[in-house]
Each structure stands twice: as structure tokens, then as C-alpha cells.
Amino acid sequence: PQKAAAQDGKFTYTKIGSTGAYKGWKRYMWEGGVRVCGLIEWPNVIKSKLDQNYPVVTTDFVPTALAAVGLKASDKKPLDGENLLPYFQGKQQRRGKAIGFHANGWDAWMDHQYKIVIGGKPGQGTEGKWELYDLEKDPFEENNIVDQNPEVFQKLLSEWESWSADAAKDCEATAQKYPVIP
């Protein structure tokens, strides 16, 4: 592998692709699996350069689009994402709503600063234990701080449990409404 100066000199190029200095690969819930660069151009709304480390997820698009046209989401079912207009307008510097991930035996929950993650196969995951990272101080997830921060971990875990239970109910309701025919 060839090293580059990017990402504090930790970026590594490999023959099979690279997540740079970020931990993990695609389909993992560490930053190497979920972090993707993005570009947003909206001259009528975005008037100046924005913080490049603001977490955004595709579920933010619907609340943002609704707010942009002056509509509100239904009170019957809250949306997972957040309205990004205040961020685009320079009125908000920190994410207000956490982001949840669930795929391929992995789960993660992150707010603007912290992320908990669990999952993966033995030797390629968290070995069945939750991990906690401070993404502002440790964006490459090199230091699992779960033991040093039990209050932060419990707060995020409680939020994730609520989100996960709600998502499971939605999946069950959808499966009942649209059963798969073998």
C-alpha cells in the first residue's frame, strides 16, 4: 500500500479500493462503511461555505424538501431525518437529530459528536460488544471510549433502542400490508 499526506498521513491506497484512514469497509457501520463525500449546491439558499464535517443522511432530504416548499410532515409518523435549511443558511452548526443505521447484522447510532456501533462477523466486527467513538476528536475511530463514558453510551443506546423498536414496528406493519408471496 502507498501512503498519502491526506487524513493526518493515515490515508492508505490499496489495490482493492480504500476507505482512506477511516475504519472499516463498505457494509460495515464504522466510518469507512458509512461516510461518503457529498456536494450540495443551492445558490438561492447556501450563500457561504459550510462546515465540511456536518453529518447528513439521505433521510434528511424529505424534511428539507418539505420545509423548502413550506409544508410540514404528517404528525401521524415522524420522519427520521432533519430539516437542513437552518444548516444551509448558517443558522445551525450542530446536527439536532441523531442518525440510525441498521444493515447486514450491524447497527449504529450517531449524533453530531458521538457514535455507537455493534455488529459484524467474528474477526470483522465489534465481537458482539457496543463501541463508542467521539467523532470530533477521533474521526478514524481508533479509540473505543465506551468504558470511559458510560453516561454518553447509555444515552445513545437508549435513543437507538427506541428508534430500533419503532423501525421494527414499521417493518412488521409493512410486511402485513404487503405480504411476500412465495
Residues 16-65 have pLDDT tens digits of 667 777 888 788 898 988 888 788 888 888 888 876 778 999 999 999 99
- DSSP one-letter code for 114: E
Where does the pLDDT of residue 6 fall: very low under 50, low under 70, confident under 90, or very high at 90 and above?
low
Considering only CA atoms, which of 25, 24, 21, 23 is closest in space to residue 10?
21
* Cβ(47)–Cβ(7) below 8 Å: no
Q: Is the pLDDT of residue 13 over 80?
A: no
Where does the pLDDT of residue 122 fall: very low under 50, low under 70, confident under 90, or very high at 90 and above?
confident
Identify the burial level of 142 via C-beta atoms within 10 angstroms of its C-beta, where 0-12 means exposed, 13-18 middle and 19 or more buried. Answer: exposed
Q: What is the pLDDT of residues 158-178, one digit of tens each?
A: 999 999 998 887 777 777 777
* Cβ(99)–Cβ(109) below 8 Å: yes
The C-alpha cell at 88 is: 444551509
* Cβ(56)–Cβ(37) below 8 Å: no
Q: What residue has cell string 415522524?
A: 78
Q: Can you give the pLDDT at residue 70?
A: 95
